A and B are shown apart, each in its own frame.
Chain A
C-alpha cells in the first residue's frame, strides 16, 4: 500500500465512522422536526410548563457554574502550588464526578436528604424541602459539574509556573493582589473554557437531577427531563421540539468552545 492510498483509507475509515456515529444522528434532529410538524413542535416549546422547565435549567446553571468556577480555581491553585497531606485524595475526589454515573450521584443525595436519610429529618423539621425541589437539584448539578474548571486550569497553572507571582511577592504584593493581577489573567482563557464546558454539562444533566427532583412538571422539571416527559406521553413532536432547542444551544456552546480552545493536536 503506498502512502497515498494509505492516507485515503485512513481518511475513509475515520470520516466514515464519524459520519455513521456522529453526523447521522445529528441530522435526524432537523429531519424529525420536519417530519413531525414544526407547528406542533413550536406549540410544545411555548407551552407554559416547557418554558418553566427551561427556567429551571437556567437557574441551576446560574448557581452551579459560578460556584464551581470559584471552587475550580481555588482547587487548582491548591493542587498545583501547595503541598498538603491527602492532596492525591482531593485530586481524586475532584475528578470523581467525571467517571461516576449521575445515577449514583442522584441516588446518594436521595439517601442523604430523604425522609430516613442523615440530613433529611433535620430539614423536614425546619420546613425546608430539599428533595423534589430546587435545593437537591442544585446540589446534584454542582456535584456532577465540579471537575471541569479545575481540570482546565491545572495544566495551565503547571505550565506557567509561579515565577511571576514570586517576583510580585518580593516587590511587596499581598497574596490577593498577586492572585488578582497576575494569576487570574494568566489562567483567564483556561477558566473561560472551563466555564463553557461546565455550562454545557449543567445544561445537559439528566440522571442525577431526574432522581432527586421527582420530575414534577411545572415545578422541578428541567429541559432535559421535559424531553423525556414528552416522549413518554407519546408526544414525539414535543420531544423533538425541545430536543432541537437543546441541540441548537449545544451547537452554540460547541462553537464557543472551538473558538476558545487552546490549539493543540491540529497540525
Chain B
C-alpha cells in the first residue's frame, strides 16, 4: 500500500523492493549455510538432557562425526502436529504412540513404524507420583490421589503425551484392581476434580509442581529422576499398579539424510546409548542393558506394570477413540471438571 504514496520516484521504489527481496533471500541462505550434515530432532518435552548426552556420544563415533543437530522440544502432541504441518524434521521422538500414529497418518513417518527394530521404541519409563520431600500427605496409591484435599498436577491430555499415559495408567490400575469399566472411568472423573493445573507439556507441569503448586505430580519416572539429578526437592513413589511408558522414535520419510538418521536410531539401542538412558532415569529396551547392575538397582521390578496393549486398554488406536479424540471421554471429563477441552 505505501509503495504508491512514496514521494520518491519509481526507480527508488524498485530499489527498495529489490533490497527487501535480497535481504529475505540472504536470510534464507543464512539458515542453509551450515557445513556438513545437520539432523533435525523434534521431540517431546522432557528428554533434552539425555538426548544432548547421547548426541555428543554419537558424534564421537565414526558414523556420527561431523553431524550437527538442531533440536526442538515441546508437548508431544503439539510437536507431532507441527511436523505434520510442515516443521522440518529428520527424526521424531514422541512420548506416546498415538502421536507417532498421527504423523504416520499424515504421511510423515512410515505406517509400520512400530514394526521396526524394538517395535520403534527408544526407551521406556513408567508413570510415577512425584511428591514433596518427606511425602507429607503420604501418597502411595491411586486411592490416595482422590482423598479429600489432595491436589494433583498433570498436563493437558490434548497436547501432552505424559498426560495421556497418566490417564490410561489411572484407568488401567483400577481395572487391574478388579473394577469394572464404568467404575474405572468414574475414578478418572473423580481424579480430575482434584487436578489443579494442566500445563501444555510434561516439562511445564514439572516446573509448576516445583514452584509449589499441588501435592503430587503425575509424571514420567525419568522426569522425576531428572529433576532429582538437577538437585530439585522432589521424591517419587511408584504405585503398585502402574503403566509402562514406551517412547517411540522414528525417521521422517522425507528426510534428506535417511541413512544418517537411521544410523542414529541404531546407535540409540546400543549399550552405550542405552546406558546413558539408564543414567538419566530411563528404562532400557536393550535386554542386555536391562540385566546390568545399574539398571536392576535403579528400576525395581513391579509385577503390577501393564502396557498399552493391556486388554482393558487395547492399544493406542482404541484408546484414542475412547478417550482422547474430540468428543471422547476426556472431553466429557474435562468439561465436568472445568478443565481444558483442547490443547
Contacts and interface: CB of A to CB of B under 8 A. Distances in A.
Given A74-B2, A232-B207, A234-B207, A128 B27 contact: no
Given A67-B20, A219-B70, A81 B2 contact: no
Contacts, number: 111
Interface of B: 1-2, 5-9, 12, 16, 19-20, 23-24, 26-28, 30-31, 38, 40, 42, 45, 48-49, 68-74, 82, 85-88, 201, 203-204, 206-207, 210, 226-227, 230, 232
Contact of A234 (B19, B20, B88, B232): B232
Q: What 7 pairs between A and B have smallest CB-CB spacing?
A: A218-B70, A219-B70, A134-B27, A216-B72, A78-B5, A115-B86, A132-B87
A132 B89 CA distance: 10
B72 A215 contact: yes
Given A90-B5, A132-B86, A63 B27 contact: yes
Contact of B70 (A114, A129, A217): A217
Contacts of B26: 63
Residue of A84, A176, A233 most packed against chain B (CB within 10 A): A233
Q: Is the interface of A mostly helix, strand, loop or mixed?
A: helix
Interface string A208-252: 000000111111100000000101111100000000000000000
7 contacts: A63-B23, A86-B1, A115-B86, A134-B31, A175-B9, A176-B8, A218-B38
Given A78-B5, A135-B27, A216-B72, A115 B85 contact: yes
A179 B7 CA distance: 10
A181 B203 CA distance: 58
Given A129-B88, A216-B70, A84 B5 contact: yes
A235 B2 CA distance: 46
A4 interface: no
A77 interface: yes
A78 B27 contact: no
Given A59-B27, A63-B23, A218-B71, A233 B49 contact: yes
A93 interface: yes
A239 B49 CA distance: 15
A219 B87 CA distance: 12
A101 interface: no
A235 B201 CA distance: 16
Contacts of B16: 70
A216 B71 contact: yes
A74 B8 contact: yes
Contacts of B5: 78, 82, 84, 90
A70 to B, nearest CB: 6
A218 B69 contact: yes
A217 to B, nearest CB: 5
A131 B7 contact: no
